[in-house]
Amino acid sequence: MNDDLTDKQRKLVDTIVTTGCTIKEAGIIAGYSTKNNTEAARVSASRTLRLPKVQRYMMKLKIADKCNFDLDRRPIYTFHDNSYEQVPDKIALYHGDNGKYISTVSQKSSDNLRCYGEFVNMLNDGIVDSDMNTDDIKISDNIYNDGKRFARILDFPAYKFDYRGEMFNLRLWSWTAYDLNWAEQFIFGPINIICMNGQFTSNWKIQGMSKKNWNRKASITSLDIKQGIDEFLNFPERLEVLSNSMVNNWQVKHLFENTIAHIKDDIHPRVSDYRMRQLSTLWDRYKGKFGMNLYSVYQTATDWASNPEGKGMPMNMTRTRSQQIVDMMKSNDWIELCQREIHKANGFAPREIAAMAG
C-alpha cells in the first residue's frame, strides 16, 4: 500500500488493529520512545494517530479478515431432455473462500452489488474526511448466516456525555448484505455504555440504498458525520425534556399494549403477554432508577430493543424492534404523553432501521 507511512507508524496501526491493545501498549511495541516513562510512548503514539495519512491507513485496515471475502458468481442452469439451459437474469452467489451458497439474485443486482470491503472503504472515507476525533476508536465487524449479511459497529469514545450518572458514547451502526435482506444503512446515535442501550434517533439516520434501487448507491459524507456529532452533543437537552414529563403506571401500560407489545393480525389482533412481562420488568428497573417519567419509558423501550432475548438472530431482532419503537413514538399514545412542549421528540428512533430486516 502506497501510504507514505514510516515503518514505525505502520507497526503502530497494525498492532492496534491485530491485537486490540491500548495506544500506550501499541506505542511501546512499535518502538516509540518511553524516555523512562511509558506515558511518553502513549503521547507520541496518540499524536501519530491524529495524522491524516495514519488515520486513512488505520481505517482502511479495519475490516476483519473473516468478513473480507470475494463472491463467486455462477450462472444457473436447468436440465431437461438431456440438455442444459441457462436461467435468464439469475445469478447464484457463493462464498469465495468456503464455497457455501449465499443467495440467488438478478444479473443487475450481481453487477451492482458492493462487496463488504468496498462498503467499509466508503465508510472510512467519510470518517477520515470529517476530521472527527478517532482516538481509541473501537470497531466490530461481523458476518451473519455464513456471510450473507454484514454489520460494522464503530464506537467513538472521544465523543461522550454524562446524563444523570450514566455515560453515553457516540456509535455508528452500519449494515449491508449479499442476500439483499438488509439494505445498506447507517445511523449515528448515543450508546449507553452501562446497559448498552442504543439511543436510536431518526435525525441521525443516513439514507441507505434499497435492494430495489441500484440507481444511487449509499454514501456517508463528512457533512453527514458532522451533523450526527452536532445531534449527539445536543442530545442531553432532549433527554432532559423527557425526564421532566411525568407519567403513571396505567399510561405506560396503555402505551406498550397499544404499540410495541401489540401483535397485528387481521383476524386476531392481541397483546403479547411475553413482551409485556419483559417490558414490565424493565419498567420497574428504570422507574426505580430515574422516576416515573418519559425518560424511563424511553430507556425501557430501547433496552428491550437493544438487548433482545429469545429465539432468532439478535441483530435481526434489534433492527425489527427498533422499527417498533419508531412506530410507538409516532403513535397518538406517545404524542399525548409528550404533550405540546415535547412534541418534537416524536421519532427519536430510525424511521426505516428495520425495513429490510430478514
Record the cell numbers describing residue 101, joined without a space: 451458497
Query: Do the domain assignments include residue 354?
Result: no
Same domain, 233 and 256: no
Same domain, 234 and 257: no
Query: Do the domain assignments include residue 356?
Result: no
Decide if pLDDT at 27 tops 70.
yes
Cβ pair 161, 334 in contact under 8 A: no
Query: Do the domain assignments include residue 312?
Result: yes
Same domain, 172 and 85: no
Give the integer Cα–Cα distance in Å for 90 and 196. 41
Query: Do the domain assignments include residue 350?
Result: no
Beta partners for residue 168, in sequence order: 161, 192
Q: Looking at the 3D structure of the chain, how many domains does it have?
A: 4
Secondary structure of residue 283 in the 3-state scheme: helix
Cα distances (angstroms) measured from residue 232 to each of 91, 100, 169, 244, 341: 42, 41, 9, 20, 21
Which domain covers residue 161, as residue numbers? 114-238
Categorize the per-residue pLDDT at 157 as very low, low, confident or very high, splitting at 50, 70 and 90. Answer: confident
Same domain, 17 and 50: yes
Same domain, 254 and 298: yes
- Choose one of 210, 238, 266: the last residue of a domain: 238
More confident residue, 116 or 18: 116
DSSP summary character for residue 35? T
Give the integer Cα–Cα distance in Å for 57 and 52. 9
Same domain, 315 and 250: yes
Query: Do the domain assignments include residue 353?
Result: no
Cβ pair 27, 49 in contact under 8 A: no
Write down the pLDDT at residue 306. Answer: 84
- Choose one of 217, 238, 259: the last residue of a domain: 238
Write down the pLDDT at residue 255. Answer: 96
Short-list 55, 198, 191, 234, CA closest to 127: 55
Query: Do the domain assignments include residue 161?
Result: yes
Categorize the per-residue pLDDT at 357 as very low, low, confident or very high, splitting at 50, 70 and 90. Answer: very low
CA atoms lying within 13 Å on the CB side of residue 43: 7
Each residue's pLDDT tens digit, 197-207: 555 544 444 44
Cβ pair 28, 19 in contact under 8 A: no
Each residue's pLDDT tens digit, 230-251: 888 888 888 898 899 999 999 9
Write down the pLDDT at residue 189. Answer: 65
Cβ pair 278, 286 in contact under 8 A: no
Record the cell numbers describing residue 332, joined without a space: 397518538
Same domain, 194 and 97: no
Query: Do the domain assignments include residue 316?
Result: yes
Query: Do the domain assignments include residue 44?
Result: yes
Write down the pLDDT at residue 197. Answer: 56
Give the integer Cα–Cα distance in Å for 16 and 99. 31
CB atoms within 10 A of CB 219: 16
Give the integer Cα–Cα distance in Å for 154 and 168. 14
Same domain, 121 and 220: yes
Same domain, 231 and 124: yes
Record the cell numbers describing residue 277, joined without a space: 412481562
Query: What's the burial of 265, exposed, middle or buried (CB within 10 Å: 0-12/13-18/19+)?
Result: exposed
Average pLDDT over residues 182-193: 69
Write down the pLDDT at residue 249. Answer: 96
Question: pTM here?
Answer: 0.71
Same domain, 246 and 231: no
Same domain, 82 and 133: no
Short-list 237, 262, 281, CA closest to 331: 262
User: N- to C-terminal Cα distance for the chain?
Assistant: 37
Secondary structure of residue 351 in the 3-state scheme: coil
Secondary structure of residue 84 in the 3-state scheme: strand
**Residues in CB range of 72: below 8 A, 6 or more apart:** 93, 94, 95, 96, 99
Write down the pLDDT at residue 65. Answer: 82
Same domain, 34 and 92: no
Each residue's pLDDT tens digit, 332-341: 999 888 864 4
Categorize the per-residue pLDDT at 134 as very low, low, confident or very high, splitting at 50, 70 and 90. Answer: confident
Average pLDDT over residues 93-106: 93
Categorize the per-residue pLDDT at 148 as very low, low, confident or very high, splitting at 50, 70 and 90. Answer: very high
Record the cell numbers describing residue 132, joined without a space: 472527527
- Choose one of 238, 264, 289: the last residue of a domain: 238
